[in-house]
Structure 1
Amino acid sequence: MAEQRIALVTGASRGIGRSAALALGRRGAKVVATYREGAQGAADTVRMIQDAGGDGFAMRLDIADVESFGAFTAELIDEVRARWTAASVDVLVNNAGIGLFGLLEGVTVESFDALVRTNFRGTFFLIQALAPHLAEGGRVINVSTSLTRHVSPGTSVYSASKAAAEVLARSLAVELGPRGIRVNAIAPGPSATDFNGGAMRDDQELRGTLAAQTALGRVGEPAEIGDAIAALASEDMRWVTAERIEVSGGALL
């Protein structure tokens, strides 16, 4: 039996977003998979959900383009109503983001603004746009990073933008709590995705180094992050809100 009716996952054309969409679909949710450029990837995500017996569709969304959110939201609700006779979203997974890295002296105003505009500003205003359309008892999950706990050279602005999304989750948990909406953050550790050029997936030396620094002795897999997101969205976690849950296998303890 489905625990949630409709889930929207941003950045679902690949990596953790795709894994989250698939995990939610396997648990009975109808999934809206958004993408910025990877239309084929998002279509593949939807096909995988359908092949597993679920249902979903893809929509384009540029999380950095907040001016488009009004039109996106209207189209989303129209499509959800037409397909599933519903007028709300039960689960919002804010996964879409970018990673730009550089030491202090190498950070440009352009890269700084791009990170904040996408990872924090876009996340905030998408929640704002969708809040009136979130179901009572809904869930919002912001995808962060384990780098808000441990540090690495060249990640200062990226990590700060993700830390902002974590603080946002705690604050909005209070604001949305009267409607029974839970707001949390998931913080993945090093995972074998194509993020940052696929370094943690393809660079065996880097994987070995990270595995040696992780309690469970390996780099994570995208499906493990997706399963954690789906678990956090489930009724099993109904009393959890305003939390940051790290899914890193015990990285850099």
Structure 2
Amino acid sequence: MTKIAIITGGSRGIGRDTALQLARKGLDIIITYKSSEEEASEVVSVISEIGSKARAFQLDLGKPIGTFDVFISNVSEYLKKTYGEAKFDYLINNGGIGGHTSVAEASEEEFDLMVNVHFKGVYFLTQKLLPFINNKGGIVNISSGLTRRTFPNTSTYATVKGAVEVFTRVLAAELNEKKIRVNTVAPGAIQTDFNGGVTRDDPKMNQAVSSITALGRPGLPEDVGGVIAFLCTDNAYWINGQRLEVSGGMAL
């Protein structure tokens, strides 16, 4: 039976690579995007060329009230029409935004947006999708290496990612009867367009990251996507309630 994964923020970066790597493992894919419909459509096309089914839906993680119900309804209808029942196997909570503001300068609006996107959105989207996840399925929540090591101007982002890690462990304990595994993947600095592409495009930042990473360079999307994809396989069945940092040995 074909397994199905839902990936938020799947139109680019780590989410895109995860979608492609899961498709190569034979899974069918549902991705979400906030505004980049063209990029999402390109991912769907590539997955179709691989030989798996794919569909993209718009979703704004910063607006969990109201918009989530529409998304759930659309996904449920698609699953029933395509597979005969509204069920899927893996949820990857990947979508997010960056933020670099000091505690002294952070605004309440910025704080609320960060909480909505990275924690409230993750929490309630997961809650609403739980009835549709098959037994022995899995959930992967994306955190950050910033929950382990401290850098200035990361308080809002790092704090909500810390909340996601606690949520992961509690959820893993609560879903024991359905044997649904829940894990966190915490990337280090990755060369994507996240935070304006600073790790990828700024030579000074790239060198700074390289100098404190044991493997000598910043990460690439495929360095992380492969780990997420692995967690969505039976080979990873005995990994549950864990935080896996994927950083190439950053700031050891």
After the TM superposition, list the runs of 4 or more consecutive aligned residues in structure 1 that deviate by more than 3 angstroms: none
Ranges in structure 2 where 5+ consecutive residues have no aligned partner = none
Corresponding position of 1:180 = 179
TM-score (norm 1): 0.97
| C-alpha distance in 2 between matches for 1:240 and 1:227 | 15
Indicate the SS of the match to 2:5.
Answer: strand
The reply on whether 1:47 has 2:36 as its aligned counterpart is no
Deviation at residue 142 of structure 1 after TM alignment: 0.4
Q: Larger deviation: 62-71 or 109-118?
A: 62-71
Q: How does 1:1-253 map to 2 (within 5 A)?
A: 5-66=3-64, 67-253=66-252
| C-alpha distance in 2 between matches for 1:64 and 1:103 | 21
Tell me the amino acid that sits aligned with residue 35 of structure 2: E
Indicate the SS of the match to 2:9.
Answer: coil
Indicate the SS of the match to 2:199.
Answer: helix
Deviation at residue 199 of structure 1 after TM alignment: 0.6
Indicate the SS of the match to 2:90.
Answer: strand
| C-alpha distance in 2 between matches for 1:69 and 1:110 | 21
Indicate the SS of the match to 1:69.
Answer: helix
Deviation at residue 84 of structure 1 after TM alignment: 2.6
Q: How many aligned residue pairs are there? A: 251
| C-alpha distance in 2 between matches for 1:173 and 1:206 | 36
Ranges in structure 1 where 5+ consecutive residues have no aligned partner = none
TM-score (norm 2): 0.97
Alpha-carbon RMSD across the aligned residues, in angstroms, is 1.1
Q: Note the alpha carbon deviations across 1:73-116, whole angstroms, 9 max, x for none.
A: 12101101212334211000000111121111110111111101
Deviation at residue 177 of structure 1 after TM alignment: 1.5
| C-alpha distance in 2 between matches for 1:127 and 1:248 | 26
Indicate the SS of the match to 1:68.
Answer: helix
